[in-house]
Amino acid sequence: MTDKVRLGFIGAGWWATANHMPVLAAREDVEMAAVCRLGRRELEAVRDRFGFRFATEDYQELLEQPLDAVVVASPHSLHHTHAKAALERGLHVMVEKPMTLRATEAWELVVLARARDRHLLVPYGWNYKPFVEEAQRRLADGAVGAIEYVMCHMASPIRGLLVGRDVADVAGYGGLFAPDARTWADPRVAGGGYGLAQMTHSTGLLFYVAPLRAARAFAEMSAPDSAVELYDAISIRFRNGAVGVVSGAGTVPAPSGFQLDVRIFGSEGMLLLDVERERLEVRRRDGRAFTMPLHSGDGAYTCVTPPNRFVDLIRGLSDRNNSSGEIAARSVELLDAAYRSAVSGCPEAVE
């Protein structure tokens, strides 16, 4: 490896230019080596803004460049193709959420990354919050005993984005370009609605905090005035015998922020984790309790740490991947089963 991590981007739209590129370009140990996106004018604007050495509209041309790692920030339906191609070239990969649309695709990437000894990271920002890390540690130490029931709820102010008529809900995040609503509102591109647009966050947090895997799921979804669903209600049986519910709503009225509330019940107690009300508590049957002191803003969503951690992992500066491919694959396999259940009207097994 060179002194700098030579980084390529496949996909350079709203979120990549609003978050990942500014974060990574600010590092002295990163070379913004190559970028790929469609649209020559937009491509040149990205190259000029972030100083990429090479720019192309063909991702295969990008992968011919001398690179150490790739960030995949293309539309959801292309994540598997682009991430797989990069891993096959022996590159480290950070791939946007959802990692893939299908469980088989997700686990294929995990196996490929292991075989090539490459880092695979999905930028779940909440997973790197100190109080979420503390929740993970306490569950691992047996805070609730054997996990028996889980409730995981998320809601977001993105109705305009999901119905494809108004991107003002998220426009304040910046970036060189406005969000392309097709990425979220066109089922042929997005693969689904609120589940894949946002519940990948909540399930990614859940599967980081709790060592669970879904066995089967039954889902009801609704899509009032939208081509993709705005609401999700999923009943789950986990492999360890626990049951749970995962729900979502894309219609929080602005300017209210995100809701993400996880409650885990076990044989010895319960853990309560809430990013909106900024709470982490453990309450046990033996009377022992824990409340983590938190301040206003501690639960606000940021995604600065994941891209930085990606580089740190590559350079050997850290060995902690809070949003690994394995965690992301457990999210994908649950959502995959849920979407199949919403169509079939029956519980669906995780593939």
Residue ranges of the domains in the chain?
5-125, 126-300+324-349
Instruction: Check pLDDT > 80 for residue 168.
Output: no
Spatial neighbors of 295 by CB under 8 A, at least 6 apart, are 278
Tell me how far apart the alpha carbons of residues 330 and 214 are, in angstroms, rounded to a whole number. Answer: 7
Strand partners, 7: 32, 69
Strand partners, 244: 150, 236
What is the pLDDT, as a whole number, of residue 295? 96
Mention the CATH class of domain 126-300+324-349.
alpha beta
Residue pLDDT, tens place only, 183-219: 888 888 888 999 999 999 999 999 999 999 999 999 9
Tell me how far apart the alpha carbons of residues 163 and 206 are, in angstroms, rounded to a whole number. Answer: 27
Instruction: Check pLDDT > 90 for residue 3.
Output: no
Report, as an integer, the average pLDDT of 93-102: 97
What is the pLDDT, as a whole number, of residue 155? 98
Q: How many residues does the chain have?
A: 351
What is the pLDDT, as a whole number, of residue 167? 64
Tell me how far apart the alpha carbons of residues 221 and 240 are, in angstroms, rounded to a whole number. Answer: 26
HSE-CB of 86 using CA atoms within 13 angstroms? 30
pLDDT band at 166 (very low <50, low <70, confident <90, very high): low
Please say whether the beta carbons of 167 and 181 come within 8 A: yes
State phi, psi for 273 to the nearest 5 degrees: -130, 120
Please say whether the beta carbons of 105 and 351 come within 8 A: no
What is the pLDDT, as a whole number, of residue 129? 98
Instruction: Give the three-class secondary structure for 36.
Output: strand
Cα 156–Cα 200–Cα 10 angle in degrees, nearest 5: 105
What is the pLDDT, as a whole number, of residue 320? 97
Amino acid symbol at 154:
M
CB atoms within 10 A of CB 160: 21
Sheet arrangement for strand 231-238: 289-291, 279-284, 269-274, 259-266, 147-155, 243-249, 231-238, 214-222, 348-349
What is the pLDDT, as a whole number, of residue 180? 79
In the CATH hierarchy, which fold is given to the domain comprising 5-125?
Rossmann fold (3.40.50)
Instruction: Check pLDDT > 70 for residue 171.
Output: no
Amino acid symbol at 119:
H
Tell me how far apart the alpha carbons of residues 247 and 243 are, in angstroms, rounded to a whole number. Answer: 14
Residue pLDDT, tens place only, 282-341: 999 999 999 999 999 999 999 999 999 999 999 999 999 999 999 999 999 999 999 999
Instruction: Give the three-class secondary structure for 134.
Output: helix
Instruction: Check pLDDT > 80 for residue 104.
Output: yes
Tell me how far apart the alpha carbons of residues 161 and 167 are, in angstroms, rounded to a whole number. Answer: 5
Average per-residue pLDDT in the chain? 95
Report, as an integer, the average pLDDT of 87-113: 98
Residue pLDDT, tens place only, 228-281: 999 999 999 999 999 999 999 999 998 888 999 999 999 999 999 999 999 999
Tell me how far apart the alpha carbons of residues 337 and 141 are, in angstroms, rounded to a whole number. Answer: 30
